[in-house]
Structure 1
Amino acid sequence: MARTREFDIDQAVDRAMDLFWRRGYAETSLPDLLKELSIGSGSFYAAFGSKEQLYLRALDRYVALQHSDLGEMLDQAPDIRSAVRQVLLSLVQADLAEPVRGCLVVNTATQCGERSSAVDRVTAAIRQVESLLAGALERAQARGELSADKKPAELARFFTTFIQGLRIVGQARLDRPFVENAVETAMTALD
């Protein structure tokens, strides 16, 4: 008779995400994961298959949470300039609060570049950010908040790239005035 699973998969993925995010993929061992999740190796392999498969699930969870937050900020702000500024400054604040963590997508790109499955996920995550930004910029242009000569797709690509750079600068622990000045300069792309 098969044993029933005695742990919540979603909670386990969230806990693993937190551990990978704090320590990185390479620095997180299977014993670390077993301890963090309070499960045995048999349960681990039955539920997740491997450390890499769990990492990818944790990365997918992180991306889903981040993109949900991004979508909400873009949709709920009164105008596109406020929305983009809020997005950028929220990232600055997150990185100032916990610079060691940074962004799990950026961490994955820099730490797991040899793993094609991780690279594919990073590429997809970045494309999703670009798509969310492009949609918000297109809607803003239709409302007259963005001049007709602006190209929403190009602006979205610029801000997507800027966001990734901003996350790396955050890990370098540059001070608030440095990054806020960079944000204000980036905002001129909407003028």
Structure 2
Amino acid sequence: MARTREFDVDQAVDRAMDLFWRRGYAATSMQDLIAELGIGSGSLYAAFGSKERLYALALERYCSANAGSLVAHLESAPEIRPALHAALTAMAQADLRDPERGCLLVNAATERPCDTVTSDRVTATMRLVESTIAGALDRAKARGELSADKSSGELARFLTTFIQGLRVMGKARAGQAFIEDAINAAMRALD
């Protein structure tokens, strides 16, 4: 008879996500994970298989939550400019509050660019962000909020790139005034 698992897998993934987010993949050992999750190595390996698999699950959880939040925010927005400004500001504020953590997606992209699973997750998330922004911009054009001659695709690619740069600048402790100026300049691209 198989033993029943004595820990909550979702909670373990959340705790691992937090640890990887704080320390990075390379600086997080299996011993660190075992201590953080409060489970034995056998249980960890039985549930997740490896550190890499647990990292992939943690990154997927982070991307789903954060990109999902942006998708929901922009898809329900009655106007694009205030919604986009609020989303950019919220991201920047999170990074300014805790610059050492920054954005797990950016951390993953820079720490593990050669890992296929990681780069595939990063790419898929970036494409989701880009397509969500493009859709929101298309809706804004249909409502007359955005000039018809603006390319939703080009603006979406610019804003997706800007978001990642914004996240890096937050981690680099660029400061509130710098971030606000950058967001205001990005918003002028919609004019």
TM-score scaled by length of structure 2: 0.97
Q: Does 1:109 align with 2:109?
A: yes
What letter is aligned with 1:149? D
Deviation at residue 144 of structure 1 after TM alignment? 1.2
Q: Which residue of 2 aligns with 1:160?
A: 160
Deviation at residue 120 of structure 1 after TM alignment? 1.2
Deviation at residue 72 of structure 1 after TM alignment? 2.6
Q: Deviations over 1:48-67 (max 9, x none)?
A: 01000000000000001001
What letter is aligned with 1:94? A
Unaligned runs of at least 5 residues, structure 1: none
For residues 169-188 of structure 1, the aligned pairs below 5 Å read 169-188=169-188
Q: Which residue of 2 aligns with 1:78?
A: 78
Deviation at residue 73 of structure 1 after TM alignment? 2.1
For residues 1-191 of structure 1, the aligned pairs below 5 Å read 1-191=1-191
Aligned residues: percent identity? Answer: 62
Q: CA separation in 1, counterparts of 2:100 and 2:175?
A: 14
Q: Deviations over 1:140-167 (max 9, x none)?
A: 1111111110111111100000000001
Q: CA separation in 2, counterparts of 1:117 and 1:36?
A: 24
Q: Which runs of 4+ in 1 moved over 2 A?
A: 75-78
Moved more, 23-32 or 64-73: 64-73
Moved more, 117-126 or 12-21: 117-126
What letter is aligned with 1:18? D
Q: Deviations over 1:10-53 (max 9, x none)?
A: 11111100110001000110011011111111111111010000
Q: Is the 8 A contact 1:73 1:86 kept in 2?
A: no
Q: Deviations over 1:156-185 (max 9, x none)?
A: 100000000001111110110011001101
- How many aligned positions are there? 191
Say which SS state the counterpart of residue 179 (structure 2) adopts. Answer: helix
Q: CA separation in 1, counterparts of 2:162 and 2:72?
A: 20
TM-score scaled by length of structure 1: 0.97
What letter is aligned with 2:49? G
What letter is aligned with 1:122? V
Say which SS state the counterpart of residue 3 (structure 1) adopts. Answer: coil
Q: Is the 8 A contact 1:100 1:171 kept in 2?
A: yes
